[in-house]
Amino acid sequence: MRFPAVVAIATFLAGLPAHAQQAPQEGIQIGLSTDRVAITADFSGADLTIFGALENPDPLISRQGRYDVIVVLEGPARSVVVRRKSRVLGMWINTSSETFVNVPVSYSMATTRQPQDITEPNSYRQLSLGINNIYIEPEEKRGNPLTIDEFTDALRERKQALGLYSDNIGGVQFLSQNLFRATLHLAPNVPVGTHKARAFLFRNGLFIKESSTQLAIVKSGFEQTIFRFANDHGFGYGLFAIGLAMLTGWLGRIIFRKD
């Protein structure tokens, strides 16, 4: 007697439209008020605000605060050489080094709450998310793993000491059930180039979706003119720098000479 009832239910579900059978997948979008930031020689750092929105969020999960967002601003990738200094015959000299490729010059992260309260450590590793999970690739992969790990840790510590790698716990705040704001810090020595802003959406600890956009950081004013000339006319810039150094030395000798 139960079989007709099951058939009736199945037939009813089959007749429903697709959107009624399954709720749309949540998504995330972010936007910048400007895609270009100009810095000058007296730039002392700044906070960058990124706004975003959740797409198709579950109202119940939103009210319970079980959505989390992590926003990252990653600088351009470059090769980096890490050197170790040792004391030899009373002098500190470079005794060993390790070269890493495709290293983000800067990395700033903001989260809704403490990272351990958002998702599992394995998720961060799979997404290469967080300062300690940035994939730093050695140029020589056949080197001693312990030595590579030591230099990798030293590189991360140096970047953090310079303010180029930073995190802002609680830097992402929900303005409503759908809208959020992220505050990321730009260090005084933030590198010029194309930076990538990425937003990661988590629901109940599970990664759902990612969205990204780009931000250009450039020098402005006289500094930009010098920077552009040095890149476009390297030989002429070198001659100019040598001539300026010689002129400065000659003037200093005249001004400070003792009669």
When pLDDT is cut at 50, 70 and 90, the band that residue 92 belongs to is confident
Residue 53 is classified by DSSP as E
The total domain count for the chain is 2
Residue in 179, 82, 71 with CA at minimum distance from that of residue 118: 71
Q: Which domain holds residue 186?
A: 25-220
Any domain includes 18: no
Residue 228 and residue 208 share a domain? no
Q: What SS3 class is residue 213?
A: strand
Any domain includes 190: yes
Distance CA 74, CA 198 (A): 8
Lowest mean pLDDT among 18-22, 107-111, 134-138, 210-214: 18-22
Residue 197 and residue 138 share a domain? yes
Whether the CA torsion 106, 35, 186, 42 is positive or negative: it is positive
- Do residues 124 and 92 touch, judged by C-beta distance below 8 A? no
Residue 185 and residue 231 share a domain? no
Residue scoring higher pLDDT (102 or 34): 102
- Do residues 155 and 82 touch, judged by C-beta distance below 8 A? yes
Distance CA 150, CA 96 (A): 12
Residue 228 and residue 183 share a domain? no
Any domain includes 13: no
Q: Which amino acid is at 165?
A: Y
Distances (CA, A) of 113 to 27, 29, 67, 103, 109: 20, 19, 11, 26, 12
Residue 107 and residue 120 share a domain? yes
**pLDDT above 60: residue 42:** yes
At 39, list the tokens. 């810095």
Q: Please write the tens of the pLDDT for every residue from 61-76.
A: 988 889 999 999 999 9
Query: What's the pTM value of the predicted model, to 2 decimals?
Result: 0.74
Any domain includes 228: yes
How do the residues of the chain divide into helix, strand and coil, expressed in percent and rounded to 5? 35, 40, 25
